[in-house]
Each structure stands twice: as structure tokens, then as C-alpha cells.
Amino acid sequence: MVYTRVSELDFELDQLPHMPPASRLVMTTPDHFSIDYVINPHMAGNIGSVDKNRARQQWDDLKEAFARCGIPVDVVEGMPGQPDMVFCANQTLPFLRTDGSKGIILSKMHAAQRSGEVKHFEAWFADRGWDVFDKIYHGDIDFEGMGDALWHRGKRLLWGGHGFRTDISVYDTISQGLDTPVIALQLDDPEFYHLDTCLCILNEDTALIYPPAYTKEGLALIRRFFPRVIEAPETEARELFACNAHSPDGKHVVIQRGCTKTNTALRDHGFEVIEVDTDEYLKSGGSVFCMKLMT
């Protein structure tokens, strides 16, 4: 079932099956990262501006930050001609069945420039024994993996963004195929083109959000399921991608350096903040969450 407003809900969070949170991460090497085209507002004016050495150092520092949290990181090699492949949250949606077996749903990328990335992740996961699903698309619809589809930590519940990169219709198929409810959130601001740019699920009870990115119905759904909602201020959300942070363990929060007000709020709620610099990737419209995939 896909839910778009509070009045449609027919379950409580504590009624949903437990699902173990991801225990590993995947990152894609930045050797071929560059800005060669414009497919989101953040890229405008930044073509050819990437400092390759700085980008590599920032990627290494982010990988080390996850290691400091005790999270193993698997590495997928970036490929020539795929400059956005480093944003590896977008090409797949990993999932766990109730019997413990693992699979992925392949993305169908909205931008033609990124369509070639998916096959490399398909091969990587298939080589490691994951079940791979791509025959879920009917007609001309798009789906961009964990850029828009986020698992509620510890519960069999999927949050699904739609409006720019993902069609809402895909969530009916995913909900039925994975036997899980989906909370669909419409995105209206093109600077927040993926759900992971305006929603960071920190733990089962807490979310970091940028409220103006949502409709009234979307905000009500978020507040319905998260007893604690931390709001990022506009400058930090738009310019520093504060909500594109990631909590790999429900305790630490890895976030772009300089999100002063957001970080204060996170610490006030008991989280340990780990600041990293991803400004080379911000030029392309991505930061911490975009640069990793939870498995």
C-alpha cells in the first residue's frame, strides 16, 4: 500500500515488522568524477570546476569518517564516462527479505546522462550473490534508488520521494513486491530534487528535515511517524546540504562542515556529530548521503 496523507493510514509504526538496519556501506571511487553537464540547479555554472585532487581527499576523508563509526565500507570502482557514478545512493535500492536473503531493485535513471551507471552496480551486486530485479517498470517511468527511497531505520517501512527523479507509480509495484508499506512524499522545490536532500532518517524516532521542501500532507506524515523532528535552517539546507547527512548507526551523524545551527540541534538531541568537507561534490548537487549506499 502507498500512503500519501495521514487520513489514509491504517497502521501504527509499532505494528510493523522489525528490519535490521544496514550494517555495511558501499562507496564508489571518485577517479572519474567531474561536472560535464547540468541536470540539477546546483550544477549550473560549475561545469569543469572540479578540483580532482581535492575531491579525492574529501572522498578518502568521508570513507575514514564511516570507519570511525565502525562501519565497514565496500568499494565499487568508478568507470570512465560516468562522472556521477560516485553518487552511489542513486542506482539501486537494496532490500532484505523476511527470510534474511538480500536483493536489489535497479534504478531507471531520469537523466539519460546517468543511465549507463546502473549496469555496473548490477554486475557488482550479482557477483556477490544478491538477487537483482529490474523488470518492475511499466511504461515511461523513472526511479532513482536510495536517492528517493529511504528505509525507516529498524522497521519494514519505506519512505518514497517523487516529483523530479522518481514517478510515484513505481511505489505501488515496490510495495507489492517487497510486501512493505510506502509513505510517498511529493517534492516541490527543484533544489531538493531527491528525498535524501531534505530528509535524513537518524534513528527510529528522529528525522532531520527541511520543511519547505514538502507539501502540507508530506510534513504531516513525517511528524506522524517521527516523535522528534529536527529542522535545518534554509541556508544550511540549500547551500550545505545539511539534510544530506547520514547516521550509519543511529548515534553518529556524518555531515557537511559548517552546518552550525543544525549541528547544535543534533548535539542537543544526543547525537555525536562528525563534520566532513564535501564542497567539491556540493557543486554537483550531492554530499554525504549521496556518496554512499547502505547495504
pLDDT, one tens digit per residue, over 81-114 is 999 999 999 999 999 988 888 999 999 999 999 9
Active site residue 152: no
> Which pLDDT does position 21 carry in this prediction?
87
What tens digit of pLDDT does each residue of 126-139 get?
999 999 998 788 78
Residue 25, H or E segment: strand 25-28
pLDDT for 140 beyond 90: no
Determine the pLDDT at residue 138.
Answer: 78
**What pLDDT is stored for residue 178 in this prediction?**
94
**CA distances from residue 63 to 15, 114, 241 in whole angstroms, order as listed:** 36, 23, 18
Whether 290 sits among the annotated catalytic residues: the reply is yes
- Please name the amino acid found at residue 61: D
**Which of 194, 198, 246, 252 is the catalytic position?**
194
251-256: long-range contacts (C-beta < 8 A, 24 or more apart)?
A: 251/69, 252/68, 252/69, 253/200, 253/202, 253/208, 254/62, 254/65, 254/66, 254/69, 254/288, 255/288, 256/282, 256/287, 256/288
Among 39, 50, 53, 124, which residue's Cα sits nearest to residue 88? 124
Calculate what percentage of the chain has a pLDDT beyond 90. 95
pLDDT tens string 196-245: 999 999 999 999 999 999 999 999 999 999 999 999 999 999 999 999 99
The catalytic position among 198, 200, 259, 290 is: 290
Bridge partners (DSSP) of residue 208 are 200, 230
pLDDT band at 171; cut points 50, 70, 90: very high
Per-residue pLDDT band for 270 (boundaries 50, 70, 90) equals very high
Q: What is the DSSP string of 173-184?
A: HHHHHHT--EEE
Residue 153's pLDDT band (cuts 50, 70, 90): very high
Gap between the Cα atoms of 65 and 226, Å rounded? 26
Give me the percent of the chain exceeding a pLDDT of 70.
Answer: 100
Contact (CB, 8 A) for 248 and 71: yes
| Pairing between β-strand 182-186 and β-strand 73-76 as defined by DSSP bridges | unpaired
Strands 228-231 and 73-76: unpaired
| Arithmetic mean of pLDDT, 187-200 | 97
Residue 265's pLDDT is 98
Listed residue (205, 256, 295, 260) closest to 62, CA to CA: 256
CB atoms within 10 A of CB 234: 12
Return mean pLDDT, the chain: 97
Residue 77 has pLDDT above 80, yes or no: yes
Q: Number of C-alpha atoms within 13 angstroms, CB side, residue 226? A: 25
Domain covering 2-294 in this structure, CATH number: 3.75.10.10
**Residue 10 confidence (pLDDT) above 90:** yes
| pLDDT exceeds 80 at position 68 | yes
